[in-house]
Structure 1
Amino acid sequence: MEQNEVVLRAIGILTRSAQWRRQVEAGDAGGDDPLGDGRGGDDPLGEDPGTGQIAALLAEVFPSVPVREEATALEAAHAVTEAALPSVMRLIGAFTYVFAELAEAHDSGRTDITSEQLLRELALRMSRAGDAV
């Protein structure tokens, strides 16, 4: 998965999180709790397709790590850590990039655009060929 795709998926999750927040504030979080903190139903992952976005992103970004059957626990942990580190860095980079864009608009005092509009604008910019993070 290219970094632009990871950023676009992060934007989708952040856009969806605005809906999660509105539903929680309205007291209508039934099953729609992305963090599993007890406000949104019995399933800690929630029943909302938005939480599926998070799981799908993690499944696509993180590699499958084969571990030898005779590997020790320490060897297995090292193999998983080594394989997962680039994916962790890509995810952190994507969310950091989007956060920085939102923070810049906020800090500059822009009132002509909402965070959701800015996320849509950023997604359009990122989806154009040649635009890279």
Structure 2
Amino acid sequence: MEQNEVVLRAIGILTQSAEWIRTAERHPAAAESTDSTGTTAARGSGEGQIGSLLAEVFPSFAVPSEATPLEAAHAVTEAALPAIMQLIGAFTYVYSELAEVHDSGRTDISSEDLLRDLALRMSRPPQGD
């Protein structure tokens, strides 16, 4: 998955999270659900979107059955590290953009408007010479 696609997905999750929070604040009891194990969780809190993003970003890999625990750990780390860095980079970029606007004291743009603008910028094809 290309980095701009990961950033777009991160923006989507962050944009949707504002709605999840507003819904939970308006209807606290309706915003929770209990699963078959009795665990209470926020309903609609993005597990599906986040899980989908993780499934797309993280590669499939196999650990040889004869691998020692240390070798297995190294294999997992080696396979997962690029995806982890990609996700951290995407969320860090979006956070820094939000923080820059906030810290500058701008009041003419909301967080959601800024996220929408970032998504539009990330969706445009790169301009070449």
TM-score calculated relative to the size of structure 2: 0.87
Cα distance in structure 1, aligned partners of 2:90 and 2:110: 20
Q: Say how many residue pairs are matched.
A: 123
Change over 3 Å in CA distance of 1:74–1:60 after alignment to 2: same
What's 2:71 paired with? Answer: 75
TM-score by length of 1: 0.85
Q: Where does residue 15 of structure 1 map in the other structure?
A: 15
| Offset from partner CA, 1:94-120 (integer Å, 9 cap, x none) | 000000000011011111111001000
Structure 1 counterpart of 2:33: 41
Higher-RCO chain (CA-CA 8 Å, sequence separation at least 6): 2
Q: 1:56 — aligned with what? A: 52
Point out the structure with the larger strand share.
2
Equivalence for 1:36: none
RMSD of aligned C-alpha atoms? 1.8
User: Between the two proteins, what is the percent identity of the paired residues?
Assistant: 68
Task: Name the CA distance, whole Å, in 1 between partners of 2:99 and 2:64.
Answer: 45
Look at both structures and tell me which one has the larger radius of gyration over its CA atoms.
2
Moved over 4 A (4+): 44-47
